[in-house]
Amino acid sequence: MQNLALTLLLLPMFGAVIAFILGKINSKLAFWIAEIIGLALFLITLKLFMGFNEPIDIPMTWFTLGNFTIPFGIYIDELSLVMLLIATGLGFLDIHFAHDYMKKDPSQARYYAKVLFFIGGMILLVSAKDMISLFTGWEFMGLASYLLISFWHESKEPADAGMSAFLFTRFGDIFLFGAIGLLFYTSGSLDLVNLNTMATSGMIDKDMIYIISIFIFIAAIGKSGQFPLFPWLMRAMEGPTTVSALIHGATMVNSGIYIVARLFDFYVAGEALIIVAVFGAISAFIGATSALVQNELKKVLAYSTMSHLSLAFIGLGAGSLAAGMSHLVNHAVFKALLFLSAGAIIMSASHVKDLWRFGGFSKKMIGVAIFMGLGALSLSGIPPFSGFYSKDAIIATTLLNPQTNGLISTLTIIAGVLSVAYISRVWFLTFAGESRDKELFEKVKTPSFFWITLPLAIMAITTLTLGFFQDDIAKLVSGKVYEEPHVEYVLVSLLSAIVFVAFIIYMYYVKRLDITKKVASQPLMKAIHKVLFNGYYVEFFIHYFSREVVVGAGAKTINWIDTNLVDASVNGVKTLTQKIYRLFGKTHSGYAGDNSGAMIIGLLILLVILISGGAM
Amino acid sequence: MSAIEFIFAPLVLALVLSLVTRGNNSLSKYISLILFAFMLSFSINLFSQLPSKGYLDLGSFLAVKKFDFILTLQVDQLSVVMLVLTSSLLILVALSSWSMKNQAMYFNLLIAFSGAIFGVFMSTNFLWFFIFWELTLVPMYFLVGIWGAERRVYAAVKFFLYTHVASMFIILAFFLIHKESGTFDMTLVKESLLLSPVLIWWLLFIGFAVKLPIFPFHTWLPDAHVQAPAPISVLLAGVLLKMGAYAMIRMVILLLPETSQQYAWIILALGLITLFYSGFMAIYETHLKKMVAYSSISHMGLVVIAISTMSYAGLSAAVYEMLGHAFIIAPLFLIAGFLHHKTGSWQMQDMGGIMQKAPYISAIFVLAGLGALGLPGTMGFVGELSILISAIKADGVWMAVVALGSMVGAGYIIWMFRRVVYGEMSEIVQKTKFSMNPMEFLSLIIFAIAIVLFGLFPNILFDIINPIFVQYTFLGGAL
């Protein structure tokens, strides 16, 4: 088992190198290597999962620093295995899908190498035993995400988007880095399981637990695209859609939730969960409302990802590990499905992303329409799809917890209901009605079944069947037998709200576009639209702050000090010495070259004297 | 060859070679490479002979007993680590200077430099240490002054005078030590023997701080770096600054532990200022090489923070970061110089999209940059992690601010990637052909391999570094 686990960790890294080298010879080779390794990783994970009886624990030492030992251990338990299944399973399907999606790209070797590297990073993250290996995986993924977002680096937007993604997530990462130092100082241990026990038993100072929890949560916010560090996630849509599906929909963005779940007892002991819930609720609301008005297909999905990850955070924050993590699992599957469907649409529609130029696409690709519809149903929370169970559980948890009952639960419900609105809007605008851009519609091709529609079908079936295994998933991720919380009236009222909202959206966007235009031209609606469309101007504020305050004021001031105070005082000394120089300057040329020449001669003379003196 | 020959043979060799070689004669180039390889094998060989504690005596020469003026050569683990670093960097610098113009003279100076620098790290007599210390400046001065860019003379003079003034402080301190303890042998001096340790501490600290460089004595370095040819920048950052750090550890922390303990907060404060101050300077900078130079100073700030902890772990971290910094900053300087050479501009806005023209060179550039911002898997991360941990252990929770340093680092590095490597090609880049001499490319590859290899397996280095400070029981956390 241990060897299998180590293979799992190393295989993608070697695979990345091999795919790159052989891919330079023939780009088809890169694909096939990635495909085979992707499948192998999934099978290995499956074998680990089937044969699981106790956690695989491989403690290792990375290096010794003076009298400290820095660990780098591997620990795979049920929670890790669930995450591993997501990462390798979706990773494999994503690679398979990329066969057609990336077909015409000249640098496929680079693409598949980076994707494999990414999967390796994700595997490392979820199999980490301690903060060091976790942080390493965390940063590997961040790097892979940066490189893949700016995959088409020759144009401006992807390059900008990559930079934005790296800096936003890096801002969170340094808090995680700081947390490592603080943990080392306060507890002397970096072991994740150990930390939970120590925190619960009160061996660590409570205030420190709180501070460290907040530090780690800031990192989680950055990685999972939560308020206020979410703008990078929307920009990340500049990358290939297969990348958005895997990294920015299904796997990497989950790592923020994963880390909170991993240290759940730590958060409980530090009483920091309420912060998680508050930020989750804000993000859920922002994401759901902004998703409503986006014009780009992928941007809707990005805001939807933000909003749904927030639901998972709310679930954790309201105190239910099982509800939060089940939602993460369910979301990963249906969001990958939705993103890849979007990829199929975009690819077939000559890389147009604008929803308003779509319409009536179901005539061209009925398969994609059906499977994306199933994904949309799961996202909306219709039973028996998996999305329903976890969403219901999260809402019920927030209502039952006195701390979150009130504003947080209201925001959660709003976000839950709005998710029906935005996803049905996307589906109707794309597949229903008549085409709004005839020229584009003519060019739309029917995607291939084996490479494109088949992975979608597999995901659609998975999201449906997962619904029947919710209790098992909950048990796996929380390690406890799980009783789903129920609040009787929630189910009925939620369902009726969903149907009602879907109907309105259908009328509004498909049947009566004339009304839509009238409503949209109202000044108030215009203003609201603008705020929502720009993601509440959060990105604008952050950019303004970093450009004007950090660079414009901070760095500029320091630069001024350096030129006018520090360096000037040195030059002042020089002027002074020059004056003295001129006084005695007749015998000295003033050139350092002459001085040093004289120095060498002097030294040589000295040397000769010494050698003769030393011999005596 | 014995130890003393490794100091004087290069000096004599340089003199002889400068008589026989002229212009682009490549004799010196090959001789220098062979010599540096010998030096490396000599330094590695020293490891096996080192005692577990104290110094290995390599002999005393040129004695004038009356003035206590003896060239005593003794090495311990710290000096051998520096010797290995220096000689391997020299080899790589020689490779990366393969197509240098007027190269006979250039390599002769490099050979002279190698002798002087070996003298610095091997001599334990204060006076001789000082002589070699000053002697390194001479070839450096010419290397910057002759092969440098437009304002090379200004930079060379500034560099020379700046470090020269610092040397006044150092020599004054050495004479004070001799007056009070009666010896120039640094292995015999004890802090308890000194009457005025505080004065000596300040003199030495300021003297070495200029070399390191620590804020506010850093302004010579960006100028020197910018004007120096790229391989010489590598020597400046990789060897000359390390001389400062080496002397700081050996003659300030280990020689005067009590006074250092008393003023550790000053070292720490200046280290933190250096870290953030130069970080912000780098963010504001649009001149590519100057930005790399500020990044280099910023990393030396980390070394200073690590030194200030005065703990076993902290000093080990400092030595690791010194090595890491040398390997990470070198390719950055080399590629920055290469890009200037090809495009004719230093300004980042004139570049852009270089990845499309020179993917492999850009990839190494990106790798080194990621090392500079401390990404796991590179030497930068191990260094930053070690320093963060040891600083927090020594100075408490608030030292978590050190982590913020890597945010500043990410700021300027990633922004630099965006402006130089990624994005659309600028007009200049479109017109330029980026072809590199294979030897220069080889040196870049070696640097890249070192960054990743020692970043993934830091224990290779820590096995060597950790034993250095075990013997100094007064350090915090020492065994």
What pLDDT is recorded for position A348?
87
Contacts 24+ apart (CB under 8 A), A589-597: A591/B157, A592/B141, A592/B156, A592/B157, A592/B160, A592/B161, A593/B141, A593/B142, A593/B145, A596/B137, A596/B138, A596/B141, A596/B160
Task: Give the count of Cβ contacts less than 8 A between chain A and B.
Answer: 191
pLDDT of residue A609 exceeding 70: no
Contacts of B131 in chain A (CB under 8 A): 603
- By C-alpha distance, which of A102, A112, A149 is closest to A451? A102
* pLDDT confidence bin for B477, thresholds 50/70/90: low
Distance CA A537, CA A540 (A): 5
Percent of chain A with pLDDT over 90: 41
- What angle, rounded to 10 degrees, do the helices at A366-380 and A454-466 form? 30
What pLDDT is recorded for position A599?
66
Task: Between B64 and B347, name the one with better pLDDT.
Answer: B347
In angstroms, how far is CA B449 from the centroid of its own chain? 19
Task: Please name every residue paired with B57 in a beta bridge, in sequence order, or none if there are none.
Answer: B74
Distance CA B59, CA B41 (A): 19
Task: DSSP for B69-113, please give it.
Answer: EEEEEEE-HHHHHHHHHHHHHHHHHHHHTTT-TTHHHHHHHHHHH
Nearest CB among B64, B142, B406 relative to A174 is that of B406
Q: Which two tokens stand for residue A358?
A: 């779509």
Instruction: Please name the amino acid found at residue A344.
Output: A
Distance CA A326, CA A310 (A): 13
Predicted interface score ipTM higher than 0.90 = yes
Interval A267-278: pLDDT, tens = 998 888 999 999
Interval A315-354: pLDDT, tens = 999 988 888 999 999 999 999 999 999 999 988 888 888 8
What pLDDT is recorded for position B457?
94
Put simply, the answer to whether B424 touches A154 (Cβ < 8 Å) is: yes
Q: Which two tokens stand for residue B115?
A: 């002798």
Put simply, the answer to whether A174 touches B407 (Cβ < 8 Å) is: yes
- Is-contact A352 A254, C-beta < 8 A? no
- By C-alpha distance, which of A197, A174, A65, A62 is closest to A128? A62
pLDDT of residue A592 exceeding 70: no
* pLDDT confidence bin for A62, thresholds 50/70/90: very high
Chosen for mutation from A145, A160, A562 (greatest number of chain B CBs closer than 10 Å) is A562
Put simply, the answer to whether A66 touches B311 (Cβ < 8 Å) is: yes
What pLDDT is recorded for position A46?
92
Distance CA B272, CA A258 (A): 34
Interval A513-525: pLDDT, tens = 777 777 777 888 8
What pLDDT is recorded for position A447?
83
Q: What is the mean pLDDT of residues B176-201?
A: 85
pLDDT of residue B191 exceeding 90: no
Distance CA B335, CA B421 (A): 11
- Is-contact B250 B123, C-beta < 8 A? no
Contacts of B350 (CB under 8 A, 6+ apart): B343, B426, B428
Q: What is the mean pLDDT of residues A374-400?
A: 87
What pLDDT is recorded for position A35?
93
- Is-contact A408 A277, C-beta < 8 A? yes
Q: What is the mean pLDDT of residues B173-184?
A: 86
Instruction: Please name the amino acid found at residue B80.
Output: V
What pLDDT is recorded for position A538?
87
Contacts of A177 in chain B (CB under 8 A): 374, 384-385, 388, 403, 406
Distance CA B1, CA B73 (A): 14
Put simply, the answer to whether A68 touches B313 (Cβ < 8 Å) is: yes
3-state secondary structure of B476: strand
What pLDDT is recorded for position A232?
92
- By C-alpha distance, which of A119, A13, A1 is closest to A57? A1
Put simply, the answer to whether A143 touches B418 (Cβ < 8 Å) is: no
Place of tokens 């003896």: B70
What pLDDT is recorded for position A616?
39
Contacts of A409 (CB under 8 A, 6+ apart): A395, A398, A399
Q: Which two tokens stand for residue B147?
A: 């092969």
- By C-alpha distance, which of B105, B134, B466, B147 is closest to B314? B466
pLDDT of residue A586 exceeding 60: no
pLDDT of residue A58 exceeding 60: yes
- CB-based contact (8 Å) between B472 and chain A? no
Contacts of A559 in chain B (CB under 8 A): 280-281, 284
What are the DSSP E strand ranges found in A232-348? none
Distance CA B45, CA B39 (A): 10
Put simply, the answer to whether B400 touches A182 (Cβ < 8 Å) is: yes
Contacts of A171 in chain B (CB under 8 A): 407
Q: Where on the phi/psi map is residue B102: left (φ > 0), alpha (ψ -120 to 50), or beta? A: left
Nearest CB among B277, B281, B316 relative to A65 is that of B316
The whole-angstrom distance between A228's CA and the closest CA on chain B is 17
Interval B371-413: pLDDT, tens = 999 999 999 999 999 999 999 988 888 888 999 988 999 999 9
Contacts of B397 in chain A (CB under 8 A): 182, 185-186, 208
Task: Please name every residue paired with B123 in a beta bridge, in sequence order, or none if there are none.
Answer: B73
Q: What is the mean pLDDT of residues A92-112?
A: 90
Enter the DSSP assignment of B311: B
Contacts of A129 (CB under 8 A, 6+ apart): A57, A58, A59, A71, A73, A74, A75, A191, A192, A193
Distance CA A603, CA A595 (A): 12
Task: Between A505 and B357, name the one with better pLDDT.
Answer: B357
Give residues 270 to 329 of B whose Cβ lies within 8 Å of A: 277, 280-281, 283-284, 311-317, 320
Interval A277-289: pLDDT, tens = 999 999 999 999 9
The whole-angstrom distance between A148's CA and the closest CA on chain B is 13
pTM for the model stands at 0.91
Percent of chain B with pLDDT over 70: 99
Chosen for mutation from B15, B219, B421, B461 (greatest number of chain A CBs closer than 10 Å) is B219
Contacts of A60 in chain B (CB under 8 A): none
- Is-contact A67 B479, C-beta < 8 A? yes
pLDDT of residue A603 exceeding 70: no
3-state secondary structure of A69: strand
3-state secondary structure of A373: helix
Domain boundaries, given as residue ranges, for chain A = 274-513, 540-615
Distance CA B92, CA B110 (A): 12
Interval A8-45: pLDDT, tens = 999 999 999 999 999 988 888 999 999 999 999 999 99
What pLDDT is recorded for position B118?
92
The whole-angstrom distance between A433's CA and the closest CA on chain B is 39
Q: Which two tokens stand for residue A116?
A: 């494999």
Give residues 30 to 89 of B whose Cβ lies within 8 Å of A: 61-64, 69
What pLDDT is recorded for position A596?
64
Contacts of A166 in chain B (CB under 8 A): 410, 414
Task: Please name every residue paired with A57 in a beta bridge, in sequence order, or none if there are none.
Answer: A75
pLDDT of residue B56 exceeding 70: yes
* B40 CB-side CA count, 13 A: 14
Distance CA B256, CA A70 (A): 30
3-state secondary structure of A596: helix
Q: Give the CA distances from residue A129 to residues A76, A79, A318, A339, in Å, rounded to whole numbers and listed in that order.
A: 8, 12, 26, 31
Interval B350-370: pLDDT, tens = 888 888 888 999 999 999 999
Distance CA A137, CA B148 (A): 43
Q: Which of A78-87, A446-455, B94-103, B146-155 has the lowest mean pLDDT?
A: B146-155
- By C-alpha distance, which of B360, B460, B446 is closest to A110? B360
Instruction: Please name the amino acid found at residue B24.
Output: N
Put simply, the answer to whether B131 touches A603 (Cβ < 8 Å) is: yes
- CB-based contact (8 Å) between B392 and chain A? yes
The whole-angstrom distance between B195's CA and the closest CA on chain A is 31
Contacts of A169 in chain B (CB under 8 A): none
What pLDDT is recorded for position A47?
92
Distance CA B447, CA B327 (A): 6
Element (H, E) at B56: strand B56-64
Nearest CB among A70, A162, A596 relative to B141 is that of A596
